Structure 1
Amino acid sequence: MKKYILLVALLTIAGCKNKSNKDTNGKLKVVTTTTMITDMVQNIGGDVVEIQGLMGSGVDPHLYKASEGDVSKLFNADLVIYGGLHLEGKLVEIFEKMESQGKKTVAVADAIDKSELISSEFFASNYDPHIWFNIGFWKKITLHTTEILKEQDPEHANIFEKNGAAYIQKLDALETEIRQIIETLPADKRILVTAHDAFNYFGNAYGFEVMGLQGISTATEAGVQDVQELSNFIIEKKIKAIFVESSVPRRTIEALQSSVNSKGHDVIIGGSLYSDALGNKGTAEGTYVGMFLYNVNTIVNALK
């Protein structure tokens, strides 16, 4: 019922809000979904863009539901930037309604060729949406977003171009640093076991075998058989650490740890990784660069 009311609200607001709001304060109004996207757009847009992020630290985008306040933000925006590939599963209908009403919405996943994506029979879009864990993809997305902002606000195109280039340099430096850190971990120890399959792009890009207890979407639940199969894998591979995630309840990994330990193999929880959201605003982990460095250091230190 609530979903129906929201969609009706969308149609009502859309009929009244078809012109740009930029002239109210001279800034392009952009609404973003996940914290990773918000951070990227802030780096590109700087002070000339007004950004509102819907999701905060620790929020799971797979399960996120729009509030009436969110609907108002979306339809007062000049531009909406979201992940795509059904990452924000419960917002898909809203984005589709907005597009049909002439609102500019952009899925950052459109910057990546489908041939480079990881397909999955277990996820609605048939593609893994966790594309931010490949820094090379994030560079393409940064370039794509820079062009979108330039199109929407040509007056500040030079600023977007300059800021986007500076952010790409940060990402280049990040990739160099994390590869150096990973090189300190022997290849046979590069097996990452987490709460759900958020790290497959990371594994492909940086040489890790990745196993998740839940599926690609946290909307799925791990069963007893999943726990047993993964615990046997951990014992077979002599894995010493597994990881929880900031946006997924600890109980799933704790159940896995208990199963492994009950079979005589000691496995620790090596730390909490940021998967579907950044850390708290104002901290190093509250930025994409800081989050990535934190995750890699946590993984490598625990698996050594």
Structure 2
Amino acid sequence: MDKRISWIITLLLVATFISSPSFAASSAKIIASFSVIEDLVKRVAGDDISITTIVPIGEDVHRWELTPPNVLAVEEADIVFYNGHGLEPWIRHLKAMASDRLTLVALAEMADYPTLTLQQGQYEGSPDPHMWMAPQGAAAYIDVITHTLSARFPERADAFRTRAEEAKDALSLLDQQVIERLEGIPHTNRLITMSEAALSYFAHAYGFEFAAIWGLNSETMGSAHDMASMSERLVDKRPPALFFESTTPDIHMDALARETGLTLAGPLYVDTLSEADGPAYNYPALLHHTTELLHEALGGARAEE
């Protein structure tokens, strides 16, 4: 089967379970910290539960500041799903204003998935929060979401579990297709280099080496020392391309690309989805876009394209 047709089948499968019949409209109100979390919650909650997202699409989840509409939404919410492990520094303000009836759920901290640690930057040695960038990590989020919603709304537990199993089946298929699409990239080219340490879980899942200038976008970006260290590494490794993210100015990666004569590719979507007409309009599309970008930039095999 043509690999691109296979991708389309996967995305259609995902769309099918998203649009499955839902219960009657409900007054239950859920908050997701950013768009990727919202997408995963919707896959379990269905259309009968209202979901509000704090950080808009395209904004940096690390550097967001709560707005009055955010505060009002929190006051009316039943559950807040956020990532945790320091991804959302502003969550401490949300916790301070939360009522006793509000349930706060840190998905990465509660997920049954091996945690990697940041290897550079101000938070070196701390848990890497970007767990969703491996489909298996996203599936672990689905389990936490399902347990939380089922406990809060037991009358809908069967529907939640059904949607969750469909979502996890689709993620398993997506995982296999990512493996197949990336397997033709030569071993000598399998280095992902970007500004923030946001693809460690993806790199670990699919057999890539990973390098970043800093750990999290919430810290000081691109010090002279960090830029010099990365420049030295690139001179030694010489990967086919460097990458930049959609939510981070590309000034640092562009400077490194110019200095080393390497190609700059992107954007990669990590901490946000794209708009509906963009390449990362939902979670499966985000992984698909990441995979295709790496395939093209790092020299994937051309057969069956």
Report the TM-score range of the alignment, normalised by the length of the smaller protein.
0.7 to 0.9
Shift of 1:220: 2.0
> Which one has the bigger helix percentage?
1
In 1, distance between residues paired with 2:118 and 2:249? 25
Q: Tell whether the 8 Å contact from 1:227 to 1:259 is kept in structure 2 after alignment.
A: no
Q: Indicate the residue corresponding to 2:295 in structure 1.
A: 300
User: Residues 213 and 207 from structure 1, CA distance in 2 versus in 1: closer, same or farther, beyond 3 angstroms?
Assistant: same
In structure 2, relative to structure 1, the CA distance for the partners of 1:74 and 1:125 (3 Å cut) is: farther
**Cα offset for 1:115?**
5.7
Equivalent residue pairs, number = 274
1:182-261 residue pairs with structure 2 within 5 A?
Answer: 182-260=182-260
Instruction: Summarize the Cα distance change of 1:49–1:146 in structure 2 as closer, same or farther, 3 Å threshold.
Output: same
CA separation in 1, counterparts of 2:32 and 2:125? 20
Residue of structure 1 equivalent to 2:18: none
Q: Secondary structure at the match of 2:165?
A: helix
Partner of 1:28: 28
Aligned counterpart, 1:41: 41
* Structure-1 separation of matches of 2:269 and 2:37: 14
Question: Does the 8 Å CA contact 2:189/2:240 hold for their aligned counterparts?
Answer: no
Tell me, what secondary structure is at the counterpart of 2:266?
strand
149-158 or 240-249, larger mean C-alpha shift: 149-158
Matches within 5 A, 1:67-146: 67-98=67-98, 101-113=100-112, 116-119=115-118, 122-123=122-123, 126-146=126-146
Contact kept in structure 2, 1:33 and 1:53, CA below 8 Å: yes
1:221 Cα shift? Answer: 1.4
Q: For the residues of structure 1 that align with 2:226 and 2:122, how far apart are their CA atoms? A: 14
Q: Distance in 1 between matches of 2:58 and 2:106?
A: 21
Question: 1:86 touches 1:124 (CA, 8 Å); kept in 2?
Answer: no
- Root-mean-square deviation (Å): 2.0
Shift of 1:219: 3.0
Distance 1:57 1:93 in 2: 21
Please state how far the C-alpha of 1:232 moved relative to its aligned partner. Answer: 2.0
The CA deviation at 1:119 is 5.0
CA distance, structure 2, for counterparts of residue 45 and residue 113 of structure 1? 20
Separation in 1, partners of 2:231, 2:125:
29
More deviation in 101-110 or 173-182? 101-110
User: 1:279 aligned to 2:279?
Assistant: no
Residues 115 and 269 (structure 1 numbering): CA distance in 2 closer, same or farther, change over 3 Å?
closer
Q: Describe the shift of the 1:217–1:271 C-alpha distance in structure 2 as closer, same or farther (beyond 3 A).
A: closer
8 Å CA contact 1:48–1:156 kept in 2: the answer is: no
Partner of 1:18: none
Matching residue's letter, 2:70 = D
Q: Which residue of 2 aligns with 1:180?
A: 180
What is the identity, as a one-letter code, of the residue corresponding to 1:235?
V
Letter in 1 for 2:267: S
CA contact (8 A) 1:190 1:208 kept: yes
Name the CA distance, whole Å, in 2 between partners of 1:125 and 1:229: 19
Contact 2:190–2:298 (8 Å) recurs in 1: yes
SS at match of 1:239: coil
> By how many angstroms is 1:284 displaced?
5.0
Q: Which amino acid aligns with 1:207?
A: G
Q: Per-residue displacement from partner, 1:29-79 (whole Å, max 9, x unpaired)?
A: 101111111001111111221111112222111101101110110110011
Map 1:51-62; keep pairs closer than 5 Å: 51-62=51-62
Match of 1:10 in 2: none
- TM-score normalised over the length of structure 2: 0.84
Question: 1:174/1:87 Cα in 2 relative to 1: closer, same or farther (>3 Å)?
Answer: same
Report which stretch shifted further, 115-124 or 243-252: 115-124
2:78 and 2:101 in contact (8 A); partners too:
no
- 2:265 alignment partner, one of 270, 282, 286: 270
Alignment partners' CA distance in 1, 2:277 and 2:32 = 18
Instruction: Quickly say closer, same or farther: Cα 1:240–1:218, change in 2 above 3 A.
Output: farther
Over the matched positions of the two proteins, sequence identity in percent amounts to 24
Contact 2:182 2:291 in 1 (8 A): yes
**Per the alignment, do residues 115 and 244 of structure 1 end up closer, same or farther by CA in structure 2, a change over 3 Å counting?**
closer
How far apart are the structure 1 equivalents of 2:191 and 2:125?
Answer: 26
Asked if residue 290 in structure 1 is aligned to residue 285 in structure 2, the reply is yes
Is the deviation greater in 150-159 or in 214-223? 214-223
